[in-house]
A = this chain, B = another copy of it.
Amino acid sequence: MTDRLVVIGGDAAGMSAAMQVRRRQPDREIVVLEKGRWTSYSACGIPYFVGGSVPEVDDLVARAPETFRDEHHIDVRLGHEARALDLDRRVVEAWDDEAGQTVEVGFDTLHIATGAAPLWPDLPGLDGPMVHAAQTLDHGLALQEALRSGARRVVVVGGGYIGLEMAEAFVQRACEVTLVEASDHLMPSLDGDVAAPLVDALGGLGVDVRVSTPLEAVEDGAVVAGGQRIPADLVVVGLGIRPRTELARDAGIALGVKGAIRVDRRQRTSAEGVWTAGDCCESFHMVAQAPVHIALGTVANKQGRVAGINMGGGYAAFPGVLGTAVTRVCSIEIGRTGLSGREADQHGFAYVEASVEGESRAGYLPERKKLTLKALAERGSGRLLGAQIVGQEGAAKRIDVLATAIQAGMAVDDVVELDLGYAPPFGPVWDPVHLVARRLLSELRQFT
């Protein structure tokens, strides 16, 4: 009996699943169809490649196709783009780039890891040659090429993670960088009060930051945004992504929020023997208790692992996401987890919020590093709902403590009593995490 597994998409969500199956089933036939030229690469590393701190594009590849083929007997077929799915005949139709023809690949079990596509607004000039995305290694190479060809005036569209990291990358390459963001603050996934200092911080790096400045058009040699004309040789669009699910939809597989593939806790789709993971599928939000679409490398890896364990005959469940994310732009660190105030409102929570100015060293030591920590707790239950950090060195990864507390369903009075490590080089005796919890506790008392 053969049970051939076909994986569509050779990045994190696809290959981590394939590897889990291989680990459990050394003889299982596994075929991977990847439309591009690479497998298992770090899209998150692209800004560091463009900025010059990662010298070669291959450095971003965790495992090359040959490694999968030679060491793990996984039949990786590059340049194969899946274009149609016949669930009755159990066949994928794929365009084979090299052969210049469509081939049929039969499967018993199918894993869909088609990822996401950059959001691309329908505005004049966005298909022009100087406009780029920053999502794949090919995009990274194209940006490098543009720099080599003399591009110096760069407009980055979108002030989220990718936008900020790309702005830093181009500053490092001595470009003149303008960042335009439609909303009134950078990092729209943070609340405005926490994100406010980022405009000045990016300004300090030499980035011309313009908030409340929506993109309107790209013209010859300029970007038009918020009624302003900004000269440009190169435009990088980082406006978020949408799940790439046409293939699944056309095959009749159920889609959910934002058009992402609907999944159960084992990563099964609505179709028998068809699984999915990564940027193309939904996740369950553990605080909102609702499906969401959050495209992050960590989630793709975890979901891929869970799907692979299940497809390999084991049992694993993916409990969901908190939307935890961190970044660093030069010396400024940013972290967030759980619900922001805006998200908590959307989901109908009644909550209190508190902010503290903390330090990542004891007050009496030199070289203190400052941070701002904001957190939200639900009225009634006192449950921690979310947190956001902006600060200097040592700030961002502190979000992991709050993420762990939220994932554990802790209430604020549990957080006050967390036994966290203390020594003067790492902060005050009451960690900022304790201080914000104490302040939330005071706020909650008004409602009890």
Contacts and interface: CB of A to CB of B under 8 A. Distances in A.
Contacts of A366: 53
Contact of A422 (B298, B323, B425): B298
A397 interface: yes
Contact of A421 (B335, B364, B430): B335
Q: Which of A335, A364, A401 has the most CB of B within 10 A?
A: A364
Given A408-B410, A420-B400, A421-B400, A364 B326 contact: no
A405 B408 contact: yes
A205 to B, nearest CB: 15
A192 interface: no
A349 interface: no
Given A301-B430, A394-B397, A429-B12, A48 B365 contact: yes
A362 B424 contact: no
A297 B429 contact: yes
Contacts of A417: 302, 318-319, 407
A193 interface: no
A425 B328 contact: yes
A88 interface: no
Most chain B C-beta atoms within 10 Å of own C-beta, residue among A416, A421, A433: A421
A419 B362 contact: no
Given A403-B420, A405-B408, A364 B48 contact: yes
B426 A403 contact: no
Contacts of A25: none
Given A301-B430, A429-B12, A44 B422 contact: yes
Given A45-B362, A424-B48, A418 B404 contact: yes
Interface in A142-167: 161
B429 A337 contact: no
Interface in A284-325: 286, 296-299, 301-302, 318-325
A403 B418 CA distance: 8
Interface size class of A (residues with CB under 8 A): 35 or more
A419 B365 contact: no
A396 interface: yes
A397 B421 contact: yes
User: How many copies of this chain does one complex carry?
Assistant: 2
B403 A324 contact: no
A59 interface: yes
Contacts of A325: 421-423
B54 A419 contact: no
A324 to B, nearest CB: 5
A419 B42 contact: no
A422 B326 CA distance: 6
Contacts of A423: 44, 161, 325-328, 396
A112 interface: no
B408 A404 contact: yes
A317 to B, nearest CB: 8
A399 interface: yes
Interface string A369-403: 00000000000000000000000001011111101
A431 B399 CA distance: 13
A403 B321 CA distance: 20
Interface of A: 12, 42, 44-45, 48, 53-54, 59-60, 161, 286, 296-299, 301-302, 318-328, 335, 337, 362, 364-366, 394, 396-401, 403-405, 407-410, 414, 416-427, 429-431, 433
| A-B residue pairs, 10 tightest by C-beta | A408-B408, A326-B421, A404-B404, A322-B419, A59-B364, A328-B425, A298-B422, A324-B419, A400-B420, A400-B401
Given A298-B429, A337-B419, 20 more contacts: A42-B362, A44-B362, A44-B422, A53-B366, A54-B365, A59-B364, A161-B423, A286-B419, A298-B422, A321-B419, A326-B426, A328-B425, A396-B426, A397-B421, A400-B420, A404-B404, A404-B405, A404-B408, A408-B410, A408-B414
21 contacts: A44-B429, A45-B362, A45-B365, A297-B429, A299-B419, A324-B419, A324-B420, A325-B423, A328-B426, A337-B421, A397-B427, A399-B421, A400-B400, A400-B418, A401-B404, A403-B420, A404-B405, A404-B408, A407-B419, A408-B410, A408-B414
